[in-house]
Chains A and B, each alone.
Chain A
């Protein structure tokens, strides 16, 4: 029979626009969160992290926001570029183990 794969949420943006990728996590006791970027044929690559005692953290062109009240995490990418096209995963740390979300596919239109 035909196999059914995960249907990844997809975000399509125009080059130069800002992107916002959202993630809901499951455990209110999680104390550390990471965003990974995975390009086709490669392993997940660390982008930015945030600890639970923070609400916001900025990197180069990326910002992560953490809302512990609603267990929500977001990744903002400023001035999105074609090289940003990839699948983005959020991960929460639970007792030393990373639990990954299903991922969001970002597609950047030139």
Chain B
């Protein structure tokens, strides 16, 4: 198995631009999580999906952030418009059964820099 796949691995953009991060979960995993990691705040959960349905988006910082999971094999996290304070590493993680406390497996992350 290739594991969780994220793209791009690095993104540099200018303030005000739209940014789209992508995630392909491990095949068969029903739950998908988006995290943000910064030196200031550590690892924060932004939103998670179960069977493609958003369950909890209370961690999404602002309306500028949105996430979708149109099917079981793909999810996007979009920031529009982006701001310098959005600069962070964004991780996608997936697991088999979120409500059974299954192990989450993380992707390699996307390092976002907003100038």
A contact set with B: CB distance below 8 Å: 3-6, 31-32, 34, 36, 42-46, 49, 51, 89, 93, 96-100, 102-103
Contacts and interface: CB of A to CB of B under 8 A. Distances in A.
28 contacts: A3-B39, A4-B40, A6-B41, A34-B103, A34-B104, A36-B106, A42-B109, A43-B93, A43-B106, A43-B109, A44-B106, A46-B104, A46-B105, A49-B103, A93-B101, A96-B48, A96-B50, A96-B55, A96-B98, A96-B99, A96-B101, A97-B45, A97-B48, A97-B56, A98-B33, A98-B104, A100-B42, A100-B43
A89 B43 contact: yes
Nearest to A5: B39
B34 interface: no
Interface of B: 4, 31, 33, 39-43, 45, 48, 50, 55-56, 91, 93, 98-99, 101, 103-109
B106 A45 contact: yes
Q: A43, A44, A102, A103: which has the most chain B beta carbons within 10 Å?
A: A43
Contacts of B107: 43
B74 to A, nearest CB: 18
Contacts of B56: 97
Contacts of A97: 45, 48, 56
Nearest to A92: B101
Contacts of A45: 106
B91 A43 contact: yes
Contacts of B105: 46
A102 B42 contact: yes
A5 B108 contact: no
Contact of B101 (A4, A31, A99, A103): A31
Contacts of A89: 43
Nearest to A94: B101
Given A43-B91, A51-B101, A93-B101, A5 B48 contact: no
